[in-house]
Each structure stands twice: as C-alpha cells, then as structure tokens.
C-alpha cells in the first residue's frame, strides 16, 4: 500500500544576487503513512519550513522546487495553481507558527471563517456563523458566538492558535502540516496547545507532519522523526530510537545539548529549593 505522502529527492533553491540558484534543501526523501505523525527536527535555517511550504506550493518568489511530492499519487510539484488551491484546506491543511501574524488584523474571526468557506464554494453568512460556532466549540473555546465577532488582537495567542487549528480542520483534511505551531506561545500555553493537538490527532485520525526545534514537543506527538541540518536529512527513524541512540553526529549533538540543559535546569531548581528550605527555618 502506498503512503499518503511520498517525498522523493526534493530540492529547493533560491536565486541569489548573482543570478545563480543557491540550494537550500537538498535531496530530501521521506514518507508519511495514513494516520501517522512524522516529526521534522532541526534548528532555524535547517530547511524544515521550506520543505513543508514546497509540499503545498507556498514557496516565496525567487524559490523553486524539484523532485517529487506525491500526495495520493499526484505530483504536487507539477500540479496547476488552481488544483493546489483546491487541495489546500480541503485535503492538506497547514498550521503556521505565529498566530498573531497569520490573521488579517482588520477581519473578525467570523470573517476568516467565511473566507475559508467561500474558497471552497460555501458563501452563506448563516452557514459561516453556524459552522464557526461549532468549530470554536470543538476547539473548546468558551462563548463561541461572541468570539466570532472578535478581531485577532482581542484574543490571546493560545486562543488564536486554537482558531487556526480549527480552521485547518474545517474540511477534514487527510494531512495536517504543523509548522512550529507552539514557538510563539509561552510555556503554559504551549503545554495546553500540545494537549489539544494530541486530542485532535486522536479524534480526527489524520496524518500529520509536525515541525519543531523542540525535542520535548516532538517526543509528545511524533511516531517517527527526521533530523535536518543545513538543508539535508542527516538521520531518520522511529522517534525513540533516534532520541535514545542517535547515529549521526548532528543528531547526537542535539540530544546531548538537550540532556545538558535538562541537567542544568534540575541542578538550578534543586539549588532554589534548598535555599527556600533554609530560609524557612
């Protein structure tokens, strides 16, 4: 049985000031099976987001992609713009990393929902309100009817991210791409958001491509993981094996760095607790 998404020898280049193409992503290959979550781990500039954007045809001006991106057998890199537009939101949805900059500040939540519905042939305002309330309630947002009339700046980052996830799931996509969805959130909101994403994954049973530079975030949601460095995949495999027994030098560096930070944090926490205990006597 073929995977839902098959990426083969994906390369992304950008035209430099000298007019020559500069390679940014090099020969990336991986599969996403139905119902599975594939994590992409790497620092900023490793090519994670470019890989995701090339899949849905959202590369910026001056960038080009080659290779194969087969979604249910269709090569998305050779698909027409209109075909990709219909596909986005309906069969493949994307959650972006900064909810505060992903919404039009002059449009209400209801307006964003109505625009999404219109893009897929549904135009009634009554339909938008009914769908919007149901969507917000599914995302466990209280006072859904009043939230519909809010502008983005009137909502917290965590609530906006819930709205974005709800919009991404509106048409029951087969593949959900989450590009650093918790980066712009504080630690408490990030924890709650990951609980919500895990719940969504269980209930919707869609495949997921989850991008993060945070090992802790990935370990809570991914089945397999790709480690990217300088535009290339340097290691991939079952998440537990990669995290506990990394084979590539860069993957080992990432795991050791995180372990060192955890140890330092625990030592610092222990020092604070000891000082607090001493001060209480």
Q: What pLDDT is recorded for position 190?
A: 79
CA dihedral defined by 258, 259, 260, 263, rounded to 10 degrees? 120
What local confidence, expressed as pLDDT, does residue 275 receive?
43
Most confident of 21-30, 152-161, 166-175: 21-30
Over residues 248-258, the pLDDT tens digits come to 999 998 888 87
Instruction: Give residue 266's pLDDT.
Output: 62
The mean pLDDT value for 223-237 works out to 95
Mean pLDDT of 260-275: 54
What are the residue boundaries of the structural domains of the chain, listed by start?
A: 5-106+151-273
| Residues contacting 56, CB < 8 A, separation 6+ | 76, 84, 87, 88, 92, 94, 177
CA-to-CA dists, residue 272 to 187, 262, 269, 276, angstroms: 20, 15, 5, 6
Strand order in the sheet with 232-238: 92-95, 175-179, 207-212, 37-41, 224-229, 232-238
CA distance 249 to 188: 32
Give tens-digit pLDDT for 60-77.
888 999 999 999 999 999
Domain 5-106+151-273 fold is: Rossmann fold (3.40.50)
pLDDT band at 123 (very low <50, low <70, confident <90, very high): low
As a whole number of angstroms, the distance between CA 264 and CA 270 comes to: 10
At residue 276 the predicted structure's pLDDT band, cuts being 50, 70 and 90, is very low
Q: pLDDT band for position 272 (50/70/90)?
A: very low
**Do 198 and 165 touch, CB atoms closer than 8 A?**
no
Which neighbouring-strand residues pair with 94?
177
């Amino acid at each position: 049985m073929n995977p839902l998404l098959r990426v083969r020898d994906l390369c992304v280049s950008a035209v430099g000031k000298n007019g020559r193409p500069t390679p940014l992503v090099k020969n990336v290959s991986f599969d996403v099976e139905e119902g599975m979550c594939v994590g992409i781990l790497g620092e900023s500039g490793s090519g994670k987001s470019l890989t995701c954007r090339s899949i849905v045809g959202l590369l910026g001006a001056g960038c080009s992609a080659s290779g194969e991106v087969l979604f249910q057998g269709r090569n998305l890199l050779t698909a027409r713009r209109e075909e990709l537009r219909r596909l986005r939101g309906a069969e493949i949805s994307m959650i972006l990393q900064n909810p505060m900059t992903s919404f039009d500040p002059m449009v209400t939540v209801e307006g964003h929902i109505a625009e999404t519905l219109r893009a897929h042939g549904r135009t009634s305002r009554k339909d938008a309100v009914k769908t919007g309330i149901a969507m917000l309630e599914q995302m466990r947002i209280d006072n859904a009817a009043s939230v519909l009339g809010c502008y983005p700046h009137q909502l917290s980052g965590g609530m906006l991210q819930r709205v974005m996830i709800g919009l991404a799931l509106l048409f029951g996509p087969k593949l959900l791409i989450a590009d650093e969805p918790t980066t712009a959130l504080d630690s408490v909101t990030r924890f709650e958001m990951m609980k919500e994403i895990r719940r969504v994954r269980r209930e919707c049973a869609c495949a997921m491509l989850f991008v993060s530079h945070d090992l802790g975030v990935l370990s809570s949601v991914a089945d397999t993981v790709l480690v990217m460095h300088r535009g290339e995949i340097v290691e991939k495999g079952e998440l537990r094996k990669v995290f506990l027994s990394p084979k590539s030098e860069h993957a080992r560096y990432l795991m050791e760095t995180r372990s060192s930070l955890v140890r330092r944090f625990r030592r610092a926490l222990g020092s604070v607790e000891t000082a607090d205990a001493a001060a209480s006597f």
